Amino acid sequence: MARKNRPRRDQNPKRGRKRQTGPSSSLSRAAFDTNYTHEDAFDGGWHVRQIPAWRAVKDYTCPGCVGIIPQGQAHVVAWRSDWIMGDADAGRLRRHWHTACWRNRRQDLG
Q: Checking DSSP bridges between strand 75-80 and strand 44-51, what pairing results, if any?
A: antiparallel
Tell me, yes or no, whether 65 lies in a domain: yes
Going by C-alpha positions, the residue among 70, 72, 40, 67 that lies closest to residue 55 is 72
**What does pTM read for this prediction?**
0.62
- Note whether residue 26 is domain-resident: no
HSE at residue 32, side-chain half, CA atoms within 13 A, is: 5
pLDDT at 80: 85
| pLDDT tens column, 13-53 | 555 444 444 344 434 554 555 677 888 888 788 889 999 99
Residue 95 has pLDDT above 80, yes or no: yes
Range of the domain at 37: 33-103
Residue 80: inside a domain, yes or no?
yes
* Confidence at residue 19, expressed as pLDDT on a 0 to 100 scale: 42
All residues at 6 or more sequence positions from 95 whose CB lies less than 8 Å from its CB, including other chains: 63, 77, 78, 79
Instruction: Count up the domains in the chain and report the number.
Output: 1
